[in-house]
Structure formats: C-alpha cells, structure tokens
Amino acid sequence: MNLRVGQVFTNRDISRIFNVCAQRGIRYRGSLRTEIQHVVLITALQKTPEELIRNPYNDRKIGGKLLYTGEGRCGDQKMNRGNLVLKRQTEKSYPIYVFEKKSPGKYVFMGKYKVVLVRNEVQKGSHGEKRQVFVFELHKLESKLSEHETTV
C-alpha cells in the first residue's frame, strides 16, 4: 500500500494496515525477543490543557526532526517495551511510520522516520510530578517513490 504524507487515517485503518494494536503511542509488529518488523508512532503535537492530563508527553517537531517522548505517564520512564523498541531501531533499522493525532479518530501520516539519538529530559507526569523521561530524536527519511509517498 502506498502512503502519502498528509493522508488521513482512522485508528482502525492504522491497526489493520500495519497489523498492530489500536492502543498506545508506540505500536510495533514483532517481538523484542525475536525480531521487530516495523513500528507505528502516534504523536499529538497540539493538545488542550485537558488532553495534557491524559497525554503528558511533550512531543515537538522542529523542521524534519521529531522529538518524541517515550512511553510511561507516571514516574521515571524505564528502558523497556516500546522505549526499548525505539532505542534498538538505531541498530536494527526497521521502519518507523509516524502519525499525528489531530482529533478523535483522525490521524495524519507524517512520513517514515529513523531514531538518531536518545536522551533524558525532565518532564511533568500525569499528576504534575517531575520525572525522568526518554526523548527520542527522529529524523524524517526521504522517500524514493516521490517527495511525499512511501509503501508499507
């Protein structure tokens, strides 16, 4: 299937196309014990104050770079599950497909990315407490199909 940057999908579409769960911000096909086939990241770059309680992650986009906060809403984040999947992508090079949640049920494809750096940062959790989180710096990959198209 060809995906175009800016194309809109539902959560169900994403789950079906990539064969990943319909929950979480870091969704992956495969296993940490065997092999990861691909990753789907869901980011919300613009949030209301109410959304910040449920989704305290401080994701930001700067040019072709995405700063993505790892998973874990309360307390210091751990390097396991989805966070470990993203960290390992620097060595294994499996594809990462990024979608921005614009509104309930509306997800816009941002393109394919790769993790280039992982660092720690202090951010607030769901209860307003300061905590250590992982921030993954992802760079957008250029597609060979066209300027804005990629395949799954």
The mean pLDDT value for 128-137 works out to 95
pLDDT in tens, 24-63: 999 999 998 889 999 999 999 987 777 777 778 899 999 8
Residue 15: its H or E element: helix 11-18
Beta-carbon contacts of 129 under 8 Å, excluding residues fewer than 6 positions away, are 74, 75
CATH fold label, 2-151: PUA domain-like (2.30.280)
For 121-146, give the DSSP string: EEEE-TTS-EEEEEEEEEEEPPPSSB
pLDDT for position 70: 96
pLDDT in tens, 68-97: 999 998 899 999 999 999 999 999 989 999
Burial of 77 (0-12, 13-18, 19+ CB in 10 A): buried
Work out the pLDDT band at 148, boundaries 50, 70, 90.
low
Cβ count near 120 (within 10 Å): 12
The residue type at 98: V
Determine the Cα–Cα distance for residues 43 and 67; give it in Å rounded to an integer.
Answer: 10
Q: What is the pTM of this model?
A: 0.90
54: helix, strand or coil = helix
Work out the pLDDT band at 146, boundaries 50, 70, 90.
very low
Question: In whole numbers, what is the pLDDT of the chain averaged over residues?
Answer: 90
Write down the residue that tokens 């307003």 correspond to: 128
pLDDT exceeds cutoff 50 at 125: yes
25: phi > 0 → left, psi -120 to 50 → alpha, else beta; which? alpha
